[in-house]
Structure 1
């Protein structure tokens, strides 16, 4: 989530996946109460799903909200919820039980058999991946011919108000530009059937609520030398107030929706 399209790659730390996993594991217990923005964005994806499916993956399943809905929508299907964060999977299994298969793994190297899926659903997950091509190639491998992937992800410009408030380029996650994702899709062999971009803006009463909405869904990963003082917090809150509207403080998400297919 970045202000600039000139840096499409995510931070170069070798332990980046472990940092993401820890952040989301820590957020698991409070994720569902703070994920209203994520749920709203996911509904746009949900409305376009096919009428039938038998082997389904919820990629980046988190607490299993969408996994459970997929299982209810496709009652004869086998649904797998996959996530990089063990804490999320533990929470999902405790809440939704074992009728869904819970699988630890990364979108960049899916631990699933080749051509084993006819539907992949992924809401706001792949923006955390450093290698967009690896993600698309993994999807190509696990989808059966004719299988489809329905994805929402985030583009540069997401959380721009937060980046401005903190006055630090590393304050928010850097996401791949749309052209990077399009190149990865093309190179992977997947077909892009539909693609759309749009902005979603959500409003919060104060800066504390803004930051709770980000931290509470794991969307903040610890970075070196990131110690903040009360003065830092006050300055960031004051800068954010410049964006205040009658509905509150805005937080913007630059969204991308994709419908991909593996050729028959």
Structure 2
């Protein structure tokens, strides 16, 4: 997760790509929350697929799993961050096609895929209408898209601890996503909104978990002092549960279909 501040589209994309490229070498070791959320998609996939696109593939974990699950398929992993793709290519080789690109302007022709998979990537795209329109364009008739994205409220504990509302990821709400779907022509076969909470022993572990997957607190004009850090720790301790310090992901899981 990344909690970058808003700016113009080109700058935003460059900053997201840079943050995730920097995180690529340690991403897999710290992406347990992302893996658990992605499992929801895995359990709902169709029995057969022949041309598959993984949007926001990162270091290729799910892309590789898709290639193994569908051994006769042509599988493509797409990501905005070149550093992530370099890790994916090094780890899994060139049997999978790795493509740098933007989900809001997919570099593929019409009707190119019968299955699109995307785990916790769509929330980084500022134009949800373009993303969903592009999904519809590249899907074949009868094709499916299986997506998890994040809703408002994600990272609310971190925003509270640091007293920085801007640490809340600026995502479209559920109704806004449904509006984009209705405009696109895709139909929603299934949708589920859940709150997934993950627990950490201390503030250092919390911050390592989000920074390690490309995230960071927005920079303020001044450096954090020891007093700032101590105050954040004290506020976070107010939220401690028996399992540890909670971090919430407000998730939306979607199964979409392009009508015949």
The reply to whether TM is greater than 0.5 is yes
1:124-182 Cα shifts (integer Å, max 9, x gaps): 00011100001000101100111110000110111110011111121232111011110
Q: Which residue is equivalent to 2:227?
A: 231
RMSD of aligned residue pairs (Cα, Å):
1.4
Aligned with residue 28 of structure 1, among 24, 27, 35: 24
Q: Which residue is equivalent to 2:77?
A: 81
> Deviation of residue 12 (structure 1)?
3.8
Residues 84, 168 of structure 1: alpha-carbon distance in 2 compared, 3 angstrom cutoff = same
Q: Which residue is equivalent to 1:139?
A: 135
The answer as to whether partners of 2:186 and 2:258 remain within 8 angstroms in 1 is yes
Question: What is the TM-score with the length of structure 1 in the denominator?
Answer: 0.94
> Deviation of residue 85 (structure 1)?
0.3
- How many residues are treated as equivalent by the alignment? 256
Distance 1:230 1:86 in 2: 35
The answer as to whether partners of 2:186 and 2:257 remain within 8 angstroms in 1 is yes
> Deviation of residue 228 (structure 1)?
2.1
> Runs ≥4 in structure 1, deviation > 4 angstroms?
221-224
Distance 2:81 2:219 in 1: 18
Residues 158, 185 of structure 1: alpha-carbon distance in 2 compared, 3 angstrom cutoff = same
Question: What is the TM-score with the length of structure 2 in the denominator?
Answer: 0.95
Aligned with residue 202 of structure 1, among 177, 198, 204: 198
User: Can you give the 5+ residue segments of structure 1 that lack an aligned partner in the other structure?
Assistant: 2-9
1:2-47 Cα shifts (integer Å, max 9, x gaps): xxxxxxxx82433101110001000000000000000000001100
The answer as to whether partners of 1:83 and 1:103 remain within 8 angstroms in 2 is yes
The answer as to whether partners of 1:20 and 1:221 remain within 8 angstroms in 2 is no
